[in-house]
Structure 1
């Protein structure tokens, strides 16, 4: 296939998905595929993808799911299995369409859960490891409480205006995510059964002060996984370690990726010390 432009849109199903590539194209080199949080997008990763590319020498592919960033809107309300749909229906098409040959999935929050579902639900020898930043495997009371609070903030503070700088349809982005999590049926959401089927090394990076999840998420992974599980707990850090403890998170994720890619003789050109 023809290598992708550094940025643009991909047609996946009925949606146009915004993307950005840092470094070599996925059909040319090992690639780290980043999956954003429930209110994230390409732009909201900041310079983390660029620094990750520099620290690993691998390509980094970032995209916005439907309803986020500059991607086309999603149909609302989202159903409670929306993360399963992203992992089992959309992500396989996306990885094939970009010519993904080998690399890692790196997800934050909702994106981490999607990565876990994919790794446990889709046999894919191209994925050599999965790094999960602040993942959710089950719904906790603290999660629902914080998500209810952010709904109030969205409707009463400058939060909506701030998010509107990043999302072309900010209400679609916010209410698609918020509405699904606050649906009473979502309390039964549980992806822990996927963990036993992950066959590649797993890393979990979590803030000790995560306002959306507790150490229970890590305990579930340690109990359910048969694959190697590495955990990194960052002090004085909340739900966004790559922003709140950027250097430590970058170091942990880059080290994990480098070890796995080097282990297969696939480390790309030049690494940062």
Structure 2
């Protein structure tokens, strides 16, 4: 596949919360199909998706829209503390902005890691608009596996060199980004977070992708999504896969998504 056959455009949407950085990819052949909205992970940004969105647009024939959450990448700087319900707040805040900017009603929600949880919330909060749901390495509660992985990451980020690596993507936001991940997930308030209320509200088809050896979440999350979601669910466990299936097995994951949406 040649990602050069996709047209990519960057824009900054002015909002009451400050600028929202967005990039979208259009396949060379325009399609009326519902666009894919991508929710990034806890340290993520548009740029950290790398070539995946472009290849996704090419593979599915759909517009793909990714954005930097407020406080991340090139979006508005934040200095506040994330609330314990930030996962549910994200699609409620951003989807109306994207809908107004791009003029779509129906969409496909897709996310990686905590972005997968945000995609689940998007499908739950907008059940009549969300045509399909795709999660990659999503968590549904604050599992010990996840928290232990974050504690190990906290030790790594005690090294200034690790922060400097992230500055390439987040600039002056970097320390806030790391704190928003580590301090929020390890806080007492967040230990009660789950998607138990959101999952039964999902009526669209879902594709749930997870690595068997994911260091930030076991396959218990795929079981929970399968059992509690009201719509049909397709589960794909990548044997030997870790927390980044879309990087570790890019072609395979792209094909899974293409076939699911077809």
Calculate the TM-score normalised by the size of structure 1: 0.87
The answer on whether the counterparts of 2:40 and 2:114 sit within 8 Å (CA) in structure 1 is yes
- 1:47 and 2:51 aligned: yes
Deviations 1:35-70 (A, max 9, x none): 111110000000000111111111111111011111
The answer on whether the counterparts of 2:135 and 2:207 sit within 8 Å (CA) in structure 1 is yes
Report the counterpart of residue 247 of structure 2 in structure 1.
243
What is the SS of the residue equivalent to 2:87?
A: helix
The answer on whether the counterparts of 2:120 and 2:198 sit within 8 Å (CA) in structure 1 is yes
Q: CA RMSD in A?
A: 1.9
The unaligned stretches of length 5 or more in structure 2 are: 1-7
Q: Give me the whole-angstrom Cα distance separating, in 2, the residues matched to 1:240 and 1:66.
A: 23
Shift of 1:96: 2.8
Deviations 1:228-260 (A, max 9, x none): 000111122111111111111111112212x2x
Shift of 1:157: 5.9
Bigger relative contact order (CA 8 A; separation at least 6) = 1
**1:64 counterpart (65, 68, 73):** 68
Report the counterpart of residue 229 of structure 2 in structure 1.
225
Q: Give me the whole-angstrom Cα distance separating, in 1, the residues matched to 2:148 and 2:166.
A: 20
Calculate the TM-score normalised by the size of structure 2: 0.90
Report the counterpart of residue 14 of structure 1 in structure 2.
17
Report the counterpart of residue 179 of structure 2 in structure 1.
175
- 1:131 and 2:134 aligned: yes
Deviations 1:162-208 (A, max 9, x none): 11111122112111122111111111101122111101001100011
**Aligned 1:180-199 pairs, distance under 5 A:** 180-199=184-203
